[in-house]
Structure 1
């Protein structure tokens, strides 16, 4: 028996019947030999952690563009917080922790520079169907490894493409909106729990809001601190979720669910749509729109930048040039986009 098979045997002995066993994965698009040491989902987790796309998350905006303080969250620290929350919940529910962590680590790989503002720009200038969820699957299946992709399992890809809920319900009614695995559904809720807490924390740190602005109901029900709010949310989810008709259903109590919904609405109104955040995204929109137009016309520069980012070359696939410019921009960090914009549009300094 290999070490992987031993791990798979342990999973079968202790995991809930509602969890996804590594040995029961639907597999990969390109079949490959099983690792003798790691389960399929452990392999996926490692591939994501060692990818270029994952490293770029450290310089991608979460909410605040180019903040002066070192304590503000980036897309990478958000991802790590989601992964930790997801693991904690999955462990408490006897689900597959490795699958939950792999999905969490990969869930935002398709995010653009400049946060959701960058995503909105690509919706306008490239395609209305652009989304960071679908782009995330494109990153792991098409763009990484110079076009070879990471060849992740079906379950991880499904969790990535269905992790986001936009401004819809925290707990959707339509099962088609949800990942097929319970681990993917846990990540979806963990994502909300993470950003509700850390975006609030960063907004207070930045001075956009004051702690006294938080709705009293949210403080009373969820708690006054980051730690208390998070523990309240996780505890309520774990205690309230129950099997129904043979399938585990994630659920929350009315008080906590209502408080989370109110807190999210507060963040949208007072933080995400605040002049401080919105005005910076206006600048980001100009940067991305002008880079997109310029790269479409300058084939040598496009080829050079694709090579620098380790993306497939212009003549390596059947994608349109517009698609490849979109891929390039979506993969950039905030810093790289700003630097390329300066090199492209600013006058060269004379000595």
Structure 2
């Protein structure tokens, strides 16, 4: 029976959580009650903080579900245990939350940024991203596309209306090939939580890409240079523990002015990245497969740009307001590997003759 006329205690749950953040989180942590707000104002939830709502919106969106069929390193792997873009995202979230909890930062904000950081990734991994960057006017970067997904593409164009802090962390999570963590101040996420995700992203992918390369018999554990094994650890778990612990220690030593690795550990990280580029990412077999994937993306892009009938069938009615190039880019970037391959097959490859 409803307690008509009596106050509902659930109306105060968000306030309890926000008060707990003020008491228990580090002074430098982002507080939900102090968010800079959303692009469109909306009523607060009585149960969840602003950052909790952002996390939930990301988990329930379509772009998040598609990550399970997008390449991490190996194109359309048949083995059950190779990482996909979704499992990468979950590993980033786990590592980032471990760091954030040790530093008394806001885990809800960390989780929201981590779960949303790769929503704009293309099919076929970074190979697909490079192709779109070459052929789309103005270029293409998955971090900007991830922000576009949450701002404009999800929910039939309404977007997820996330908080400024989450949007900033998504936009600024990405790394260059050199000096991936130490960046110019204006490129660094505005919150320590966003900086945590940036570090966790590289900790995750360095270790799971190495693990997948060993599983695929591309590398043997002893192929990793001895000094890297000695500094970071000989196993997947040891390497992650070493890097997470170093991040916590170095960040505390900075007085939580930033999230960082120690100089010695950063040097080992950059050496491991260079090793993976040399022995895995740029190996001829993988590059050959990405070259095939390149043809899929280029041919689909050109067909959508030049054939109005196919455009309207696959993407929707031609309409003013958004450049055709942008709509085609959005559509291709949102594809999973298998959808892109099946669409290419149906549009470009001959079909078996059927007697009518």
Bin the TM-score by the shorter chain.
over 0.9
Give 2:270's match in structure 1, choosing from 238, 256, 261. Answer: 261
For the 8 Å contact 1:314–1:324, the answer to whether it is kept is no
Are 1:165 and 2:165 counterparts?
Answer: no
Whole-angstrom CA distance in 1 between matches of 2:191 and 2:318: 36
Give 1:193's match in structure 2, choosing from 178, 182, 203. Answer: 203
The equivalent residue for 1:139 is 149
TM-score by length of 1: 0.95
SS in 2 for 1:145: coil
Whole-angstrom CA distance in 1 between matches of 2:211 and 2:225: 14
SS in 1 for 2:155: helix
Cα displacement (A) at 1:213: 1.0
Render the CA deviation track for 1:209-248: whole Å, top value 9, x for unaligned.
Answer: 221210111100111100000000001110121365x752
Whole-angstrom CA distance in 1 between matches of 2:144 and 2:93: 20
Render the CA deviation track for 1:86-145: whole Å, top value 9, x for unaligned.
Answer: 111000000000000000000000100000011111111113531000000000010111
Render the CA deviation track for 1:64-98: whole Å, top value 9, x for unaligned.
Answer: 00112110000000000000001110000000000
Whole-angstrom CA distance in 2 between matches of 1:350 and 1:283: 26
Whole-angstrom CA distance in 1 between matches of 2:267 and 2:178: 14
The structure number with the bigger radius of gyration is: 2
Render the CA deviation track for 1:152-178: whole Å, top value 9, x for unaligned.
Answer: 110011001100112131332411111
For the 8 Å contact 2:95–2:204, the answer to whether it is kept is yes
Cα displacement (A) at 1:208: 1.7
Are 1:350 and 2:356 counterparts?
Answer: no
Whole-angstrom CA distance in 2 between matches of 1:62 and 1:173: 24
Moved more, 291-300 or 88-97: 291-300
For the 8 Å contact 1:221–1:255, the answer to whether it is kept is no
SS in 1 for 2:291: helix
Cα displacement (A) at 1:319: 0.9
Give 1:331's match in structure 2, choosing from 330, 334, 348. Answer: 334
For the 8 Å contact 2:172–2:189, the answer to whether it is kept is yes
Pairing 1:78-117 to 2, within 5 Å after superposition: 78-117=88-127
Pairing 1:145-294 to 2, within 5 Å after superposition: 145-242=155-252, 248-294=257-303
For structure 2, the 5+ residue unaligned runs are 1-10
TM-align CA RMSD? 1.4
SS in 1 for 2:156: helix
Render the CA deviation track for 1:18-39: whole Å, top value 9, x for unaligned.
Answer: 1100011111101100011100
For the 8 Å contact 1:60–1:75, the answer to whether it is kept is yes
- Describe the shift of the 1:59–1:252 C-alpha distance in structure 2 as closer, same or farther (beyond 3 A): same
The equivalent residue for 2:4 is none
Total equivalences in the alignment: 344
Cα displacement (A) at 1:8: 0.4
For structure 1, the 5+ residue unaligned runs are 308-312
- Describe the shift of the 1:117–1:109 C-alpha distance in structure 2 as closer, same or farther (beyond 3 A): same
For the 8 Å contact 1:20–1:181, the answer to whether it is kept is yes
